[in-house]
Amino acid sequence: MDKKILIIENDRDIRELVGHILSEQGYDVSDCPYKPVAELKAYDADVIILDEWVLGDKAGHMLCLELKAIDKLMNIPVIILSTAHNIEEIACTCKADGFVRKPFDIDILLAEVARVYLLCNQGI
User: What's the average model confidence in pLDDT over 35-52?
Assistant: 84
Beta bridge partners of 7: 31, 49
Nearest alpha-carbon partner for 86 in 55, 118, 47, 59: 59
- Averaged pLDDT of the chain: 89
Indicate the pTM of the whole model.
0.91
d(CA 99, CA 80): 5
The tally of domains found in the chain comes to 1
CATH of the domain at 85: 3.40.50.2300
Determine the structural domain holding residue 51 and report its residue range: 4-121
For 22-34, the pLDDT digits (tens) are 999 999 999 887 7
Classify residue 32 as left (phi > 0), alpha (psi -120 to 50) or beta.
Answer: beta
Spatial contact of 79 and 98, defined as CB atoms under 8 Å apart: yes
Burial of 74 (0-12, 13-18, 19+ CB in 10 A): exposed
- If DSSP codes are grouped into helix, strand and coil, which group holds residue 111? helix
